[in-house]
């Protein structure tokens, strides 16, 4: 397609370009927009040094090639005024109407999207891009033309900026243009970006083309002549155009097929434009009669058009000297859509909106495209789905009833199943392709008959994510896996909640859980259990939401009066002196009339006394959390009988944050003495730490915990 990015396009030149396809264009408004944009950009310069206004004029000229309406052309002239000049939205509305102002504002917002930023931000901006597209697709048409002109003039930018813009173009704008059916723009954008990102690779492709032409002559002209002769012989009125593929398209084929340039055959493409649809099939017959068709390279997009309205017959044949050439056959109206894609909806011809029967309704097209991404909640999943769909080509497969299912190239039976219905995809257990059982990872081909086998109770496997290629299938699989995980997390959360509530002597009733969910601003009781099971929240936090007085906050000491869990309301307890149980140790309670409950360590010898009274036993546990150092324990210590030894031991105990409540000498010898030291501790871990500290002291000959002390011993509590 001819480019129109010359730097000196006057208002008269632009009016002439528009009037060629739309004699009824509003010439006065076009001139007014030209003058307004020129005045607003007065004094501004591009990186190249040329007047800045040359850029919006060139963008408008590019859009005239697609024969677009006045509003789109005017938007192109003004697309940078709101962002880069003193012009305001209200002023543009007053001068050129709400339609143009809305389009200019939409382009301005797109310009501010950082589509090459981090994953989360990029996905968020892609959502905004699709939202802008859904409001008015002409915003994207202006933006694509803007990017095309910037890429044509990119040499004036800094090298790092060139690379950034080229990568963004290759990743986003080129595939977007292709998805919209504007294949010529996609090819040019890709090639311009390729020139920046890999200039050596592009130059090598061009050199090889020149050498090939030198060796074989003008192959395109010869094959074009042969095709015209065959069509004339068959009495078919048609035009034939041939061209070599763009350097980037050839490079991509070399990469995909892992072949050198010399082994790559289909580097030429030919188009046959007929007057009538039936002539397309007659032309196909004539071409296949003259040249041998390459198996597996035939696609009929006339009977099964692409979602963006593209219609054409594609075939690949072995031409002169066995060289493969691609042939596209379509009518003139189909060709218009193939060139401009969804933009054909706004095209004018002879002053009226062109009623191209093959142009798709942009609103329906963008709605269909957007629906594929709406289910994706995760940013990275959404971004992946968008890029998969933008890069997709299509294959057409059939259900056993003969219905056609459109899928991207590389799709599998799993994609096919979800394309029919999400319920079919979830229940899929196998597939038959052309009546033969195949693995679910099989890549489907055009024209195949696919039958999906299902079973009740089946659910998607995580490995399906590596097999599926469509955004719809991957989204549904992730959603099903999340729901399956959720059921497991809810079950686990219920057990964790039961345990957490029992620790404070309460039950995790539905009402208690619903109350906790409300206080924690979580949607429902089930949501709370799922988050508890997935470790997003803790059992302590849930209990704290309902019983804040029973649950110590982080760093807050456990109330000594409520240190034991499992007692009845108002029931008191005391620790047995015989075993001196400490927090952190397993305990049981023995009830006494008028005394309450006496708490023993689970391994206390005294418990055998109560074996015949099981009704007096209580299953107890210590409250979790930090306790105060008030729980007594007895240490049996043997020390060297030297001056100052006892003082040093007492100092070590104090430094360990323990308190000595009593000392009792048991045995005294000339070289050592043995004593019982009654200390107050936090818990069993505190006792263990203290004993290690004392054992390391050289003056300590032996140390042990004393339990079940003889009746004559002194109880420090007395």
> Is position 556 annotated as part of the catalytic site?
no
pLDDT tens-digit series, residues 153-201: 998 888 888 998 898 888 778 877 877 778 888 889 999 999 998 888 8
What pLDDT is stored for residue 115 in this prediction? 53
Q: What would the mean pLDDT of 552-559 be, rounded to a whole number?
A: 68
Q: What angle do CA 14, 67, 247 make, to 5 degrees?
A: 95
d(CA 240, CA 224): 6
> Is position 84 annotated as part of the catalytic site?
yes
Token digits of residue 191: 């090639």
DSSP three-state, residue 404: strand
Q: What would the mean pLDDT of 693-709 be, rounded to a whole number?
A: 85
Q: What would the mean pLDDT of 673-698 be, rounded to a whole number?
A: 88
In order of 278, 284, 395, 409, 549, the CA distances from 446 in angstroms are 22, 18, 5, 9, 68
Cα of 206 vs its chain's centroid, Å: 38
In order of 188, 222, 238, 243, the CA distances from 325 in angstroms are 21, 12, 18, 10
Q: What letter does residue 157 receive in the DSSP assignment?
A: S
- Pick the catalytic residue: 84, 502, 541, 636? 84
**Is the pLDDT confidence value at 687 over 90?**
yes
CB 224, CB 241: distance < 8 Å: yes
d(CA 660, CA 486): 52
Q: How confident is the model at residue 3 (pLDDT cuts 50, 70, 90)?
A: very low
Domains of the chain: 11-197 (1.10.3210.10), 202-353 (3.30.460.10), 480-546 (no CATH), 560-622 (no CATH), 631-706 (3.30.70.260)
DSSP three-state, residue 274: strand
* Helices 539-546, 510-519: crossing angle, 10 deg rounding: 90
Q: What would the mean pLDDT of 444-449 be, rounded to a whole number?
A: 80
CB 33, CB 77: distance < 8 Å: yes
Instruction: Give the residue with greater pLDDT, 419 vs 709.
Output: 419
**SS3 of 82-107:** HHHCCCCHHHHHHHHHHHHHHHHHHH
- Pick the catalytic residue: 13, 83, 502, 527? 83
Is the pTM higher than 0.85? The answer reads no
Query: What mean pLDDT, rounded, does the chain reach?
Result: 81
Token digits of residue 140: 């994207």
CB 553, CB 541: distance < 8 Å: no
DSSP three-state, residue 467: helix
What pLDDT is stored for residue 636 in this prediction? 94
């Amino acid at each position: 397609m001819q480019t129109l990015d010359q730097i000196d396009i006057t208002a008269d030149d632009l009016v002439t370009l528009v009037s060629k396809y739309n004699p009824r264009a509003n010439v006065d408004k076009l001139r007014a927009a030209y003058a307004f944009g020129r005045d607003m950009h007065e004094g501004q310069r591009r990186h190249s040094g040329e007047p800045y206004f040359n850029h919006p004029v060139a963008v408008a000229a590019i859009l005239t090639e697609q024969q677009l309406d006045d509003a789109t052309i005017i938007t192109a002239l003004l697309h940078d005024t709101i962002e880069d000049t003193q012009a305001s939205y209200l002023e543009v509305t007053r001068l050129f109407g709400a339609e143009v102002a809305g389009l200019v504002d939409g382009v301005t917002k797109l310009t501010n999207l950082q589509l090459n930023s981090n994953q989360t931000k990029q996905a968020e901006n892609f959502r905004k891009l699709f939202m802008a597209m859904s409001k008015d697709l002409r915003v994207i048409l202006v933006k694509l033309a803007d990017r095309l002109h910037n890429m044509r003039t990119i040499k004036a930018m800094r090298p790092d900026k060139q690379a950034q813009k080229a990568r963004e173009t290759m990743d986003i704008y080129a595939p977007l243009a292709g998805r919209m059916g504007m294949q010529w723009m996609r090819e040019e954008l890709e090639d311009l970006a390729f020139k920046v990102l890999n200039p050596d690779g592009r130059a090598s492709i061009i050199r090889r083309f020149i050498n090939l032409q030198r060796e074989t002559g003008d192959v395109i002209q010869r094959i074009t002549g042969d095709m015209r002769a065959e069509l004339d012989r068959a009495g078919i009125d048609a035009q034939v155009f041939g061209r070599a593929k763009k350097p980037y398209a050839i490079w991509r084929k070399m990469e995909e097929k892992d072949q050198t340039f010399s082994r790559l055959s289909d580097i030429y493409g030919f188009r046959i434009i007929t007057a009538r649809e039936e002539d397309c099939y007659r032309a196909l017959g004539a071409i296949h009669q003259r040249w041998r068709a390459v198996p597996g390279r035939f696609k009929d997009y006339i009977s099964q058009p692409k979602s963006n309205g593209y219609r054409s017959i594609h075939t690949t044949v072995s031409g002169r000297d066995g060289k493969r050439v691609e042939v596209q056959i379509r009518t003139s109206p189909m060709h218009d859509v193939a060139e401009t894609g969804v933009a054909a909806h706004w095209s004018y011809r002879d002053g009226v909106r062109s009623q191209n029967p093959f142009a798709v309704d942009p609103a329906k097209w963008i709605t269909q495209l957007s629906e594929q991404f709406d289910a994706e909640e995760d940013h990275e999943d959404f971004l992946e789905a968008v890029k998969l769909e933008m890069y997709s080509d299509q294959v057409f497969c059939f259900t056993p009833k003969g219905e056609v299912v459109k899928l991207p190239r590389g799709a599998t039976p799993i994609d096919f199943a979800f394309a029919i219905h999400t319920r079919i995809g979830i229940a899929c257990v196998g597939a038959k392709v052309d009546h033969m059982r195949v693995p679910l990872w099989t890549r489907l081909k055009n024209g195949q008959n696919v039958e999906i086998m299902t079973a009740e109770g089946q659910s998607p496997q995580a490995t399906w994510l590596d097999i599926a290629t469509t955004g719809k299938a991957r989204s549904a699989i992730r959603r099903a896996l999340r729901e399956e995980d959720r059921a497991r997390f809810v079950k686990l959360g219920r057990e964790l909640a039961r345990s957490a509530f029992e620790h404070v002597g309460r039950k995790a009733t539905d009402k208690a859980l619903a109350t906790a969910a409300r206080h924690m601003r979580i949607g429902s009781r089930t949501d709370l259990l799922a988050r508890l099971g997935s470790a997003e929240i803790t059992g302590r936090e849930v209990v704290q939401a309902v019983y804040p007085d029973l649950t110590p906050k982080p760093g807050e000491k456990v109330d000594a009066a409520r240190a034991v869990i499992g007692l009845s309301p108002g029931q008191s307890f005391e620790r047995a002196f015989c075993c001196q149980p400490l927090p952190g140790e397993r305990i049981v309670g023995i009830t006494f009339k008028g005394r309450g409950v006496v708490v023993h360590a689970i391994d206390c010898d005294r418990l055998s006394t109560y074996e015949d009274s099981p009704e007096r036993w209580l299953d107890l546990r210590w409250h979790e959390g930090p306790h105060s150092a008030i729980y007594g324990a007895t240490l049996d210590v043997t020390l060297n009988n030297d001056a100052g030894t006892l003082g040093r031991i007492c100092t070590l105990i104090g430094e360990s944050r323990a308190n000595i409540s009593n000392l009792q000498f048991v045995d005294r010898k000339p070289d050592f003495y043995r004593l019982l030291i009654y200390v107050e501790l936090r818990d069993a871990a505190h006792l263990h730490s203290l004993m290690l500290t004392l054992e390391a002291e050289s003056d300590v000959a032996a140390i042990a915990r004393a339990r079940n002390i003889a009746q004559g011993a002194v109880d420090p509590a007395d």
